[in-house]
Structure formats: structure tokens, C-alpha cells
Chains A and B, each alone.
Chain A
Amino acid sequence: MVRPVRSVLVFGSLAAGFLALAPLAVDPYLLHILILVLMSAVMALSWDLLVRTGQLSLAHAGFFGLGAYASALSCNLLGASWWMSFIAAGMAGGAAALALGIITLRLHGMYFAIATLAFAEVLRTVTLQAKFTGGAVGVTLPAIFGGNRVEAYYLVAVIFVLCLAVSLGLQKSRWGLAFQAIRARQAVAEVIGIDTVKTKLAAFVISSVFPSLMGAFYIHYVTYIIPYEAFSLNTSVSALVMSVFGGIYTTAGPVIGAVVLKILEEYLKSAIVYGYTVIYGLILALVILFMPNGLLGVIRRAAGSGRADQILRWFGGRKRAGVSD
């Protein structure tokens, strides 16, 4: 166990150094891309937190939009400062997840997936219809930190590190084992004394606070949002495809998936303006059919029992084959 620990320390400090120093070395456009990549990583990783309990959420876009609107409206209507509006966004997302979860998480996973998809769509309907949200026109805010991109980068980097810590912490704790047990067989998990509903509910709330924070960050960073963009299904699609592509039930997988696919997406957006999401649909179907453990699964198989494997196993959770259990 000594060697992997050292490798992880080396790898971790290299990554931390890169994260901390990146804004000094790259030009503003690349910094913008880096911010988008970190946002995607938070979205994908937080989506994965819930999947570990075996539940499919299609509501990430809903929480993203909810966070964006909660933060913008608390600034514009209540005069909150930026950090207060972030807290408001996180609380709004958490509360909504709690309410939706209490109703749906007791039932079969299918109902949860359907209800979450409907939830995101209905939030858009409500935002378009309600008076105080600005309707189809959307909302605007002054840019955060006076438009200083480097400070904005550090803010999103801090949230990313927080999400990473939560993910690793959950994985190494009793919670991670409880998640795994529920995913493998819920009835057995109940028999061994896990309160499955409360565990799933906790996972859902944690997993929903992060996209809400990202929504709050997005509106502050881009300064403008409309309901069709805030609650776009593409937000949920990209988060889950990045996670599945990298390798679900792990911490490294969603992050790797976000880095690869977000850069690919930025390239594709300039090539195909409408419908670039087609690539996400294709990747999702192909990954499920041919490599259900994602990129990480492929790397692990290729690496065999080598050192790279040990590092990945350390970063990636307890079990080698996560998906098929």
C-alpha cells in the first residue's frame, strides 16, 4: 500500500500545482476553456455521486437552472452579495432535491428517472410563465469580480476541489460501502441495516447542490441566461455522458470524461452549430453497449496488474469491475 500512496501524493500535488498555476500561464481564451472544463467536471462528478446508489437522475439541468435563477433573483430582487447568492442557490437545489427525493426515492428506480426528467422540463415551463423570473427574456447580472477571469477561475477551481473531496470522502467512508450495497441489491442492503431511503436521499441532495452552485457560477460568469439555456436537456446529457464515458462509480472517471468530452464539444460546436449533442447520444449508446465500465475500465484491463492500475484503483474506488455488479 505504500507505493500507491506515494504515487497518489505525487500525482495529486502535480495536479494541484497545475490547477493553482494555470491562470498565470495560459491566455484568456484557454482560461475560459479551462473554466468550462472544470464546470463540466463538477457536473459530471456530482451526477456520479447519485449513480453510485443505482439511481438515474435526469434532473441535473433542472438543478443547474434552479441554481442560476435562485442566485440571480436573490441578487436582483433581494440585493444579496455574490457569495450569499451562491448559498441561496445551493440551498434551493438541496431543498428541491429533498422534496423530489422524498416523493420518488421510495419507489422503483424507473419512477425516479422519469420524475427527474419531468422535473427539469417543468421548471423551465414555470420559469417561462412566472412573472418574477423575467419570463422568456431571461435575467442579467453584473459580471462577478468585475469580469476578472482569473478570480472567476479560482472560484470554480475551489468548488471543483470541494466536489472532488466530497467524492473521495464518500468513496472511502461507510457511505461509499452503503452506496455500493444499495446498488448491488437493495433488499440485501436493507437486511444488513442500511436505511436505503435515507442514504439515497442524502446522495441525491449532495449530488444536486453542486449543479445548483454551477448554475449560480454560470450566471455570474456569463452575466445572462434565458430559460431555454438554463434548463436545457443538453446540460443533463453532457454531465451523464461525461461520467459514463470516463467510467461511472469512480472519482477519476467523470473528471477524465469531462476533460476529454468538453474539449471535443468546444471543437464540435464550431463545426456543427445545431445538434452537436448528437455525438453525446452516440457515445452514450456505444459506451453502454461495448465498454460499460468506461475509459477507466478499458485502461484498467489494458494495464493489467501494473503500477498504473494500482494508481487508478486507488483513485477509482474499491472494485475493479464496477458496472456489472
Chain B
Amino acid sequence: MEVFFQALVNGMLRSGLYALTSIGLALSVGVLKIVNFAHGEFLMLGAYLGVFLFVFFGVDPLLSLPLAALALFALGAAVYRCTIRHVLGAPEINQMLLTFGISVFIQNMALILWTGDPRAINCVYRSVTLHLGGVNAGMGRFITFTIAFLMIVVLYLVLTRTRTGKAMRAVSQSRDGAGLVGIRVQKVYLYTFGLSAALAGMAGVMLSMVLYAQPAVGLEFTLKAFCIVVMAGLGNIGGVIWASLLLGVAESLVGTYLPHGSGWSEGVFFILILAVLVFRSRGVGQWFAQ
């Protein structure tokens, strides 16, 4: 039973990072209606930023968080302004190909510049373990979990209480309607994409604090974030929390109880995607019946 609770806690702690990554993706998909395959690459860049700030300037990862958020906001806004903006009216396939191309470009650029060796922040949070009634939790993971959910609360407040946030929700409901009432849709898109990248960047810093930064790490997070967004339903920000918890706990349980489980747990997200899609496409039964 103790093993079970430990697995449960591990899964929950893991889900914090997933939630923070997915919420950014849910935001950009929900408002811009564009699938951003480069989302995980923003996370990867944030992770490297955290590592470099720590290694060269000794900056504590918690202090790097706002810096990474600012840097990635600027990068996201620039990517939107220079590329995404020009395909808003193009066929969906062109939009997906564009973000996929950006993702491939950033990932391989990182591979050329920084090699494929994993790098990590070896700070104090890594080595401290908290003991809570027979269950252990790494300090770094605990901080990550807390900050992730704090950020989600902040985002919720931004979306419900500020003018910009309300404008984002209006645009996500109806682009034309929002334009008609005087909301500057282009500006909202720019802010949304920048904010989405900033959230991914913060998740990246925390990733390098609990795991490591590596060029290919973005793809894994893009896929898992998609899985969570698909589970939650497009544009459903609240659902992201439950979906993240589900993925994190499921991975942790598979990793604990299956032989060679840590390898198999990397496949859990695909089973979840398929399960959701089967559930969604109610026509599957009909197709067999024909």
C-alpha cells in the first residue's frame, strides 16, 4: 500500500510540469485555432536558458523563472509576428506544416549549438527530499508542482479578471464577433502566442531543475501536452488540470507496477490519445456495422 501511495504522489508531482506545459498549448490552440508543433521547443529553450543562467551566472532557477518567461514571451511574439501571422488564412495543413517546420528547425539548431548531451541544474532543490508520513517527495518536484498550479491560478485570474484576458476569451469564442466589438484581434493573437510560449519557457526551467535539458526533450512534451489537451477538450483550460493528473498518475502507476515499467510508461500517453479519439468518434461502431 505504501508503494501505491508513493506512486500516486510521484504521479501527481509529475503532473505539475505537464499541466503548466499543456495550459500554454491549450491557450494557443483555443484562441488561434492553430496546432503549434513547436510548443515543446519553447519548453526546451526555456530549459537551456535555465541551465545557462545557472552555470554561467549562478542564478537560482526560481529567479530564472521570470527571466525565462520574458525571453520566451518575446520569442513567441516574434515567431507569431514573422511566421504564424502570415498563414492565418491559409489551409490548415499549411499551418500545421509551418509550425512543424519551426519545431524541426529549433530542435536541430539546439542539437548543433549545444550537442545532444543532457545538461541539468545541480542546485540544492535536487538533493533535498521531503518526508510526509511514509511518502517521499523530491524538493525540486514539490516546488515545480506548487509553482505550476500557482501559475494556473494566475492564468485563470488573468483570463477572467483582466481586459486582455477577457479579450482572449472573446476572440477564442468568435474571431469576427470580437473584431466587430472593437477588439484588436491581431494584438490578442500576438499576446496569446507570447503568453503560451512564456508558460512553456517556465515549464522548461523547472524541467532542467528536476530532470535535464536536451534538444529532443521538446517533442516528448509536445506530444504529452497534445494528449492532455485532447483529453481535456479543445479550449477547456480547467479540464487540463484533471487530464494532467490522469496522465501523470497513469504513467507513474505503469512505471511502478509493470516489469521494465519506466520504458512502457512512455507509451501511456498514446493509449490515452487513442482512447479519447475512439470515444469521440462515435461512428466507429457504425463503420463496422455497414
Give the B-binding residues of A (Cβ under 8 A): 51, 54-56, 58, 102-104, 106-107, 109-111, 113-115, 117-119, 121-122, 125-126, 128-129, 183, 197, 233, 237, 240-241, 244, 272, 274-278, 280-285, 288-289, 292, 323-324
Q: Note all chain A residues with C-beta closer than 8 A to B278.
A: 103
* Segment among B63-71, B142-150, B179-187, B263-271 that sits at the interface with chain A: B263-271
Contact B92–A109 (Cβ < 8 Å): yes
Q: A122-B267, A233-B219 are in contact. Are A277 and B273 (CB under 8 A)?
A: no
Contact B35–A103 (Cβ < 8 Å): no
Q: Note all chain B residues with C-beta closer than 8 A to A107.
A: 277, 280-281
Q: Note all chain B residues with C-beta closer than 8 A to A283.
A: 101
Q: Which of B204-260 contact A (CB under 8 A)?
A: 219-220, 223, 226-227, 230, 260
Contact B283–A106 (Cβ < 8 Å): yes
B131 interface hit (Cβ, 8 Å): no
Q: Note all chain A residues with C-beta closer than 8 A to B96.
A: 56, 109-110, 113
Q: Note all chain A residues with C-beta closer than 8 A to B283.
A: 106, 197
* Segment among B6-14, B42-50, B107-115 that sits at the interface with chain A: B107-115
Docked CA distance A278–B269 (Å): 27
Since A125-B266, A241-B101 are in contact, a sample of 18 more A-B pairs with Cβ atoms closer than 8 Å, ordered by chain A residue number, is: A106-B284, A107-B277, A115-B273, A118-B273, A129-B260, A129-B267, A237-B104, A244-B97, A274-B111, A274-B115, A274-B116, A275-B109, A277-B104, A280-B101, A282-B101, A284-B101, A284-B104, A289-B98
Docked CA distance A185–B97 (Å): 19
Q: A114-B35, A288-B94 are in contact. Are A125 and B281 (CB under 8 A)?
A: no
B128 interface hit (Cβ, 8 Å): no
Q: Note all chain B residues with C-beta closer than 8 A to A103.
A: 274, 277-278, 281, 284
**Closest CB of chain A to B255's CB: distance in Å?**
12
**Closest CB of chain A to B279's CB: distance in Å?**
10
Q: A104-B277, A122-B270, A292-B90 are in contact. Are A129 and B263 (CB under 8 A)?
A: yes
**Closest CB of chain B to A296's CB: distance in Å?**
16
Q: Which of B115-160 contact A (CB under 8 A)?
A: 115-116
Docked CA distance A244–B263 (Å): 35
Chain A residue nearest in CB terms to B259: A129
The 3 closest A-B pairs by CB, nearest first: A281-B105, A284-B101, A281-B104
B163 interface hit (Cβ, 8 Å): no
**Closest CB of chain B to A13's CB: distance in Å?**
35
B102 interface hit (Cβ, 8 Å): yes
Contact B269–A118 (Cβ < 8 Å): yes
| A–B pairs, 15, beta carbons within 8 Å | A103-B277, A103-B281, A109-B96, A110-B35, A113-B96, A121-B270, A128-B263, A129-B260, A197-B283, A240-B97, A241-B101, A275-B108, A284-B101, A285-B102, A323-B94
Q: Note all chain B residues with C-beta closer than 8 A to A58.
A: 100
Contact A115–B277 (Cβ < 8 Å): yes
Contact B86–A289 (Cβ < 8 Å): yes
Contact with A along B12-55 (1 / 0, CB 8 A): 00000000000000000000000101000000000000000000
Contact A111–B277 (Cβ < 8 Å): yes
Q: Note all chain A residues with C-beta closer than 8 A to B101.
A: 241, 280-285, 288
Contact B281–A277 (Cβ < 8 Å): no
Contact A324–B263 (Cβ < 8 Å): no
Docked CA distance A71–B219 (Å): 28
Q: Note all chain B residues with C-beta closer than 8 A to A197.
A: 283, 287
